[in-house]
Amino acid sequence: MTALSLDGVSHAYFGRTVLERVKLDVREGEIVALVGPSGCGKSTLIHIAARLIEPLRGRVTRTYARHGMIFQEPRLMPWATAEDNIAFPLRLAGLRGAERRRRARHAADLVSLDPSDLSKYPIELSGGMRQRTAIARALVVEPDFVFFDEPFTALDVALKRQMQDLVIAAARQTRFAGLFVTHDLAEAVRVSDRILVIDERVRGIAGERFISLPESARDDDAVFATVQAYLKEDPLFAHIYDREGRSIP
């Protein structure tokens, strides 16, 4: 079953086309990574898919019940504790206080956020704990779809790996589908079931590759070897470069 479908989606800013006739599908329980060079419209596409902006043309079909979204920045409310930040979507939904707290603490447990940190304010949390809080906030609504808009770009390598592991474990436990935008091809290989590459010349999706590595085999060496094979041997990834011509790690 398809959880999300985009058909012929196009968009432009001030007359400049950033997406043209994009077609993609995400199946239930599947994590799809979206990669491409800087400025190719990855974030615009995920914002359209998540209903944050309307496309200029095309159709978006969503068959999932609820979605969560995780941004590059945690975007926490500075005046609220970690627990209240996590529970905020439930407050908007009208849940009572006791149920909000129970579900917020369960979501915090999913991302290994220590109970002693739930009473802290964002300024008291490390960068990793703030991002864990943001992930828990996305999961607290028990979504069957999650949008990831380059959520770990600003983190160091070790912390990024921890956050990726959290996403993998949470996806395995709750079986949500997801669309994961990233500049990092290694990250795409680690967290996704399938990679979609956006064409640099605004021609939509250039192609896709299924990740053949089982999750249990995606250690650093295997991921590195897969990425190198893509970059050196697969023409689909020939244009995965930023505007300065540097290869994405």
Chain segment 195-245, per-residue pLDDT in tens: 999 987 766 899 999 998 988 899 999 999 999 999 999 999 987 754 433
Answer whether 46's CB lies under 8 Å from 202's CB. no
Q: To 10 degrees, the CA torsion angle through 18, 195, 47, 85?
A: -150
Q: What is the second-level CATH architecture of the domain 1-63+183-249?
A: 3-Layer(aba) Sandwich (3.40)
Structural domain spans, the chain: 1-63+183-249
Burial class (CB in 10 A: 0-12, 13-18, 19+), 212: exposed
- Kindly report the pTM of this predicted structure: 0.90
Cα separation, 68 vs 14, in Å, equals 29
- What is the per-residue DSSP string for 107-147? HHHHTT--GGGTTS-GGGS-HHHHHHHHHHHHHTT--SEEE
Using the CB atoms, write b or e for 46-79: b if 16+ within 10 Å: bbbbbeeeebeebeeebebeebbbbebebebeee
Q: Would you state the pLDDT for residue 104?
A: 96
Cα separation, 15 vs 61, in Å, equals 26
Chain segment 32-56, per-residue pLDDT in tens: 999 988 778 888 999 999 999 999 9
**Taking the mean position of all CA atoms in its chain, how far away is CA 222?**
22
